[in-house]
Amino acid sequence: MAGRALNKQTIIQGALILTLASILIRLLGAAYRIPLGRMLGDEGMGIYAVPNQFYLLFFTISSAGIPVAVARLVSEKMSAGLYRDAYRTFTVSFAAMFSAGIFFTLLLFFGASWLVETGLVANPASYHGLLAIAPVIFFSAVTASLRGLFQGLQNMSPVAVSQVADQVILVAATVLFSYLLLPGGLALAAAGANFGAVPGAVAAAAIMAFYYFRHRGALISMVRQDTSGYREEALSLLKKILAVSVPISFAGMAMAVTGIIDNKLIIDRLQLVGYSQQEATALYGQFNQFAMSFVNISIAFAFSLGTSLVPSVAEFHGSGNRRQVGQQASTAVRLSLLSTLPAAAGLYFLAPQLTDLMFANAEAGIPLAALAPAVIFWGVHLVLAGVMQGLGRANIPVYNLLTGIAFKIGITYFLTPTPIGIRAAALGTVAMFAVSSALNIISVKRMVGLKIDFSSSVVRPGLAALLMGMAVREVQRLSLPLFGHDYLATIAAMLAGALIFPVLAAILGGIRADDLKNMPGIGSRAAAILLAYEKRRDRFLGKTRN
């Protein structure tokens, strides 16, 4: 009854809901950088990026792992019929996040001057941005706990709505405040852009609170169904939450620290070969704010799939169904590759055209082309990290990621002051996720028996993606004289790619009917069409061989 009241969804439904929200969020995140980038320029975007890295660090330390931890524990306890403890897991996490949010907000606000004075912030112009973004930590921490509750109940709709509202308001406020403060100078305009995240964070917290109170009656009814007589102590629940969230937060913290190191390392190492601080900051802005925007959009489905896997894997793990977990992991890797392989090919073959289209900055295509393969490896890393988090082994993907980060830092340090330049940071990112994804595959295979059909999951969709990439580059080249404008030719190439890849993948056997049948809406119909084609193809091949 509680599941129906709270609209429990399947993994694919939950993943698609989060994916649609995530794609919209990431598109908006890329889109607002168009006016913002043109107002602030490369240097201003570099100044704007630094406070975001420190916000990410402080938020990650305080609460980044909470949604996953709460989701996993709520799902486990629900499957065992311990509804009272499922709800108390949320209330304990909420109290902890409320306190942690206040503490870390004040820590960043009052510690901003120290970060600048010690040189941890490479450019002092980012000081006001650190002050402006600090309040976001508190509201994000509170929101994290509420999102974890709904993820654990496998109802992703409130999570998606809050995420979209957060981003829409952030986009509008960031551009508005930056524009209003631009007459005060580049540093103040960048700080205005950083402050734009505050109204979005407030809105997200308010929306999650609305959904909570809307469903509170169903939650209380769920608690009353618990006749087990079992009641776990609050301290014990908090320890379990921290046991799951701390490793995840540590992974996020490692990524945030890596971003901060990247900022200082790239700018300092580029200056060694003759770039000024302003030029080096501009190149960092091209890499971090422009090129990475496309990568973040491209991993939207893999990210959502990994998030949706956590409560489902926890549920199967709690019931001892190891075989089902292995099947879910294998399917998740395959679905991730089907989304990231064509995305990586498109980014590589159209890199300068895409950055010129979005940001009027074709030079940012240089780091983007080098970054493109990272999409593939990052997607695999995310879905398998979700599997291990659901299994209660969140520490393993952290260790694997740390190994990858060591490669990234080494490549960035040694190769940036060479002719490779800013591409070294991009190649370091590719290496980081290539290493971590390979280690994640090994880890999950040992735990639940991961099975990946290399031919159908990698080779065939990979070949389809490669052919699509070459085709879209030709479409862009041939469309240019027809449309007479680079932007229209690039859009035509993107639309062509969206049509070409699924057709090629179906012909080559990279997409199967099983991949489509669980998708809501047109999934069953598309699967039936593809299944009919597969039967005819197999009969034809059989006759050919005979």
Strands (E), 423-510: none
3-state SS of 488-530 is: HHHHHHHHHHHHHHHHHHHHHCCCCHHHHCCCCCCHHHHHHHH
**Three-state DSSP class for residue 379:** helix
From its phi and psi, is residue 229 left (phi > 0), alpha (psi between -120 and 50) or beta? Answer: left
Segment 155-170, tens digit of pLDDT: 888 888 998 899 899 9
Q: Is the distance from CB of 333 to CB of 515 less than 8 angstroms?
A: no
pLDDT score at 339: 92
- Measuring CA to CA, how many Å separate 482 from each of 127, 202, 490? 49, 47, 12
The token duo for 440 is 């994640």
Q: What percent of the chain has pLDDT over 90?
A: 42
From its phi and psi, is residue 453 left (phi > 0), alpha (psi between -120 and 50) or beta? Answer: beta
Which amino acid type is present at position 391? L
Segment 433-477, tens digit of pLDDT: 999 999 999 999 999 888 888 998 999 999 999 999 999 999 999
Say yes or no to pLDDT of 519 above 60.
no
Q: Tell me phi and psi for residue 394, to 5 degrees.
A: -65, -15
Say yes or no to pLDDT of 351 above 90.
yes
Query: What distance separates the 2 farthest-apart alpha carbons in the chain?
Result: 78
From its phi and psi, is residue 49 left (phi > 0), alpha (psi between -120 and 50) or beta? Answer: alpha
Name the pLDDT band for 354 (thresholds 50, 70, 90). very high
Segment 19-31, tens digit of pLDDT: 677 777 777 777 7
Average pLDDT in the chain:
86
Query: Is the pTM here over 0.85, yes or no?
Result: no
